[in-house]
Amino acid sequence: MRVLVTGGAGFIGSHIVSALRAHGHEAVVLDALLPSAHPVPPARPPEVEWIHADVRDRAAVDAALRGVDAVCHQAAMVGLGKDFADAPDYVGCNDLGTATLLAAMAGAGVRDLTLAGSMVVYGEGRYDCPAHGRVAPGPRAGADLAAGRFEPGCPVCGAELTPGLIDEDARTDPRNVYAVTKLAQEHLAASWARATGGRALSLRYHNVYGPGMPRDTPYAGVASFFRSSLARGEAPRVFEDGGQRRDFVHVRDVASANALALAFVRTREPGTLAAYNTGSGEPHTVGEMAGALAAAHGGPDPVVTGEYRLGDVRHITASSLRLRTDLGWRPEVGFAAGMAEFARSGQRAAAVP
Ligand SMILES: NC(=O)c1ccc[n+]([C@@H]2O[C@H](COP(=O)([O-])OP(=O)(O)OC[C@H]3O[C@@H](n4cnc5c(N)ncnc54)[C@H](O)[C@@H]3O)[C@@H](O)[C@H]2O)c1
Ligand SMILES: [Zn+2]
C-alpha cells in the first residue's frame, strides 16, 4: 500500500514512516517543516519520498496524492502554545489544513484516512463522586490553583472525586485552542466520510514519548521538558503537586497502532469515522514520570514547584480496550523500560525562542 504521511518529518510521523516500511508499505511524506517543530531541518531518510509543502497548499496536496491508497494525517501544530495569539496558526495548520487535505482526497478518490487524534478532546475526563456518581467537573479556577487546591471537586457538592478511565463514548470538552482544533479535525473527517463514502479512524493518542521527541518548547510535551532539564544537569520541575495522572505511551507503540489502523480502516463501513483511545493502559503520575526519568539519567532528582498552567487538566487517563479488542493492538514498551531508554536517547534540536 502507498500511504501519504502528512507531518511525516515530525516526532510521531517519522516513527510511523519506519513502521510502515517495516510492514512492506511505501510511505510518502508531506511536511511543511514548521520552524516551531524543526528549528534545525531534520535529516531526510534517502529511501523515503519527501515533499516539503504545507497541507494548506491544495496543489501540493493534489500532487502528493497521486497513486496513494490511504492517508495517515499527522501534520499539526502541537502543544499549548505561547499565548492566545497563536490561535490563528493552530486553526490554520490543524483545521484549514485538514479541510484542504480532505477536499483533495475527495477530488482524488482516496477513501481511507487515519487521523492523529488526541486525548485532549475529553477535557478533564471522568470522575466519580461518592454521592453523585459520574460527574464532569468544569475548568479549575485560577484562585484554587494559586491556593494549591489542584484536585477538582464535585460540581454539585464539592466532594473529593475519584478519577476513572475514560472511554471513546465520553462527552468531549476541549479546554484550549489546540484541543478545539483536534476535535474539529475529527468532525471535519466525519463530514468528509459521510459526504464521500470515505472511511476514517481517529487514534486519540495519550501522552506520547520516546526517541526523537522535540526538546522543550512551548509546543512540546511534559516528558520532553523533564528530559531537556536533565540533559542540562538541572532538576526536572514538576508542576502542581506532581499527582496529575496521565498515560505515557511509547512512540513505537503509537506507530504500530497506526500501521494496524491503516489496514483495519479499509474493512470498515464506508461513510463513518470511529475513534480509538491510544494509551498504554498503565496510568502514572507526572511526578512518577519525572522520578523515573531522573533515576534512569542518574539525577538530579525532580523538584515539585506548585506552579500551574491554566488550561491544564488534572487527571486524564483513558481505556484503550477498544483498540486492543478491535485491532488486536498490544503496546510492547512498558513504562520503566521506555522511560529508561528515553532518558538516554536523543531529542530533536531545541527551538529558537
Ligand atoms: N506528541 C503527543 O503526545 C501527541 C498526543 C496527542 C496527539 N498528537 C498528535 O500527533 C500528531 C504528531 O505530533 P508530534 O508530536 O509528532 O508533533 P511534531 O511537531 O513533532 O510533528 C508534527 C509535524 O507536522 C508538521 N506540520 C505542522 N503543520 C503543518 C502543515 N500545516 N503542513 C504540513 N506539515 C505540518 C510539522 O512540521 C511537524 O513535522 C499531531 O497531529 C498531534 O496533534 C501528539
Ligand atoms: Zn457530589
Range with the poorest average pLDDT among 232-246, 275-289, 334-348: 334-348
Residue 351 confidence (pLDDT): 43
Residue 352 confidence (pLDDT): 37
Counting ligand 1 atoms within 8 A of each CB, the residue from 74, 227, 249 with the most, and so the one to mutate, is 74
Residue whose C-alpha cell is 502528512: 6
Q: Which amino acid is at 71?
A: V
Q: How far is the CA of 156 from the centre of ligand 2 (A)?
A: 5
Biggest alpha carbon–alpha carbon distance for the chain: 60
CB-ligand 1 contact for 11 (6 Å cutoff)? yes
DSSP string, 177-203: HHHHHHHHHHHHHHHHHHHHT-EEEEE
pLDDT in tens, 144-194: 999 999 999 999 999 999 998 999 999 999 989 999 999 999 999 999 999
Is a pLDDT exceeding 80 seen at residue 218?
Answer: no
pLDDT in tens, 6-43: 999 999 999 999 999 999 999 999 999 999 889 888 88
CA distance 189 to 61: 16
DSSP string, 137-150: --PPPHHHHHTT--
Q: Which are the catalytic amino acids?
A: 178
Contacts (Cβ under 8 Å, ≥6 apart) of 20: 3, 5, 26, 27, 72, 258, 259, 262
Contacts (Cβ under 8 Å, ≥6 apart) of 45: 17
- Output the nine-digit C-alpha cell for 28: 510518502
Is a pLDDT exceeding 90 seen at residue 307?
Answer: yes
pLDDT band at 336 (very low <50, low <70, confident <90, very high): very high
- Say how many Å lie between the first and final Cα of the chain, rounded: 40
Q: Are 136 and 127 in contact (CB under 8 A)?
A: yes
If you average pLDDT over residues 312-322, what whole number do you get?
Answer: 92
Domains recognised in the chain with CATH numbers? 2-344 (3.40.50.720)
Q: Which helix (H) or strand (E) covers residue 129, if one does?
A: strand 126-129
If you average pLDDT over residues 77-102, what whole number do you get?
Answer: 93
If you average pLDDT over residues 57-73, what whole number do you get?
Answer: 98
CB-ligand 1 contact for 208 (6 Å cutoff)? yes
Residue 220 confidence (pLDDT): 65
CA distance 265 to 270: 9
Q: How far is the CA of 33 from the centre of ligand 1 (A)?
A: 10
